[in-house]
A = this chain, B = another copy of it.
Amino acid sequence: MSLKGIRTNDKHIKNLANIVEGNRSILYKKEDLLAYDCDGFTIHRRLPRAVVFPNNTEEVAKIVKYCHEHDLPFLARGAGTGLSGGAIPLNGEVIISLVKMKRLISVDFENRRAVVEPGFVNLKLTNSISDKGYYYAPDPSSQYCCTIGGNVGENAGGAHCLKYGVTTNHILGLEVVLPNGEVIEIGKDGIPDAPGYDLLGLLTGSEGTLGIVTKITVRILKNPEAKQTVLAYFDNVADGSQAVSDIISAGIVPAALEMMDQIAIEAVEAAAFPVGHPKDIEALLLIEVDGISAGIDEQIHQILEVCKRNHVREVKVAQSEEERARWWANRKTGFGAMGAISPDYLVQDGVIPRSKLPEVLNRIHEISREYGLRIANIFHAGDGNLHPLVLFDARKPGETEKALKAGSACLQACADAGGSITGEHGVGIEKREEMRFIFSDEEIAAQTDIREVFNPKNLLNAGKLFPTPGRCLEVKKEEKSVTAS
C-alpha cells in the first residue's frame, strides 16, 4: 500500500502521515532520519522512528494524542541547535519537527508584544520589527537559525542577557500541547504576572519535557537610542577579571560584557571572521553599553578608566556600526571557530558568582593540565556564565571520554564555587548526572514529581534533564514515610 507515496510496514508511520496535511509530512527512511540523530550536542546519536512536520496546533495535538494512545515515545524539535542533547531521540522517538510552524502571527507595538509560532527563527523577529524601532532581546549566538520555540524549551540566553535577562524574562504567554494532546493557554493574552502558579516560568526552560509549545507571546523592546562598544586587551586574565568586577561595582549595567581567553582568540583569529586581535594577550573584553545618548558617553568614559586602572594593553571604542558588527561576528561565531584549531570540541556552560571568576578560571587551567586537553574560554563574564570549550580529537581512542570528564570537572568547579551547571544550554542528556552536583535527591524528586503531573506516561522526551527516571508519586510518598518513621 502506498499512501502519500509512503512505503513501509509501520502502521504508525502511515497513521501519523495521515494526520498532517500536505505531502512533505513525514520522514521515515533511514537516510532521511540520519540528519535527526543528534542536535548541537553531537557526542550521542540515535535514529528517531520518524520525523513528522505538522502545520498547526491542531495537527500537533493530534500527533501527540496518537502517540499518547499508542504509547509511542515522542519529542519536539526546532532548529536542532541545542547544545546539551535535548532533541536527541534517546528512545527512538517520533520527532515532531516544528519548522513548518514559522509564522509571525501578530505584532502589537503599543503593548510591546508579538506572537510567533515555535518554528519562527529568533533573529527574524528583530529583523521584522526593526524598521519600527523595536527588537527582541534574547540573542543566543545561534540566533540567525535557532527557533524561538527551542529558546523557550532551553530558556536560552545570549550576550545581551546581562542587562535584559534570559528568555524567561521575555515570555508573556504560551499555547502548549500537553503530553496527552490537550491544549492549554498560559499567560492569557500576554498579560504578565497572571494569578495562580507561574506555569509560564515552569514551562520555560523545561527542556521539552512538560509539553510542546505551539504559540508564543514575547515581549518586544524599543531599540535603545544609542549603543557603544568597547574592545579591551589585557596581558593577563586577572586584570581582565578585575576590570569586569570594577565595571559592575561602578554601578554600570552593560548590555553585554564578554570575555575571551588566549586559546579562544587563537581560534577566532584562525576562523571566518578575524579582526586582528593580538595573539599574545591573555584576555579580551568586549563591552557594550546602550541607553539614551546623553548617558552613554559618561559610561564609556568610566569603562575606559576602569580598563586603564587594570593595566589594559590597548582599549578602543567601535568607530562605526560596521566595526561593531565585525567585533560581534568574531565573538558570536567563537564556538564554531574552534574547528579551525581542533578536530572536535565540547562546549560547557557553568555559572559562578562573579567574584569567583579568577579562582574558577585557574581551576579550569588545572583541569586542562590534568587531562592533557586544551580548554578555551569564551563567556558572558558580566553574569558569571562560563563556557569552557574542551578541545579534543574524537579519532584518538578514549579522547572523547576524557573530554567529557574534563567538561564535567569544569562543572564541578563551578558548583564548588557556589555556582550552577548550566546558564543557558540546558541539561539535556549531557549534564544529567551533574545535576547531583547541585541538587539533593529530595530536590530532584520535587522536580520529577512535577514532570509526573504533566507527563505521567513519560513518553515525552524521556530520559532527559534528570539523573534518574522520575519515580511514581505514590511510591515515593510511601518510601518517605517509611524512612521518616
Interface residues of A (CB under 8 A from B): 65, 108, 110-112, 133, 155, 157, 166, 168-169, 178, 180, 182, 184-186, 188-199, 201-202, 204-206, 210, 222-225, 245, 248-249, 251, 291-299, 351-355, 418-424, 426-427, 431, 435, 438-440, 442-444, 446-447, 449-454, 456, 465-466, 473, 477, 480, 484
Contacts and interface: CB of A to CB of B under 8 A. Distances in A.
The quantity of this chain's copies bound in the complex is 2
A335 to B, nearest CB: 19
B195 A204 contact: no
Contact of A477 (B191, B206, B443, B456): B456
Given A193-B424, A438-B194, A199 B447 contact: yes
Contact of A180 (B112, B202, B291, B480): B480
B184 A110 contact: no
Q: Output the residue of A110, A178, A352 with the most chain B CB within 10 A.
A: A110
A297 B294 CA distance: 9
A196 B447 contact: yes
Given A184-B446, A189-B418, A420-B194, A111 B202 contact: no
Contacts of A353: 108, 110-111, 189-191
A214 B184 CA distance: 33
Contact of A419 (B191, B202, B438, B443): B191
Nearest to A443: B184
Contacts of A291: 291, 295
A157 B294 contact: no
A453 B456 contact: no
A354 B199 CA distance: 23
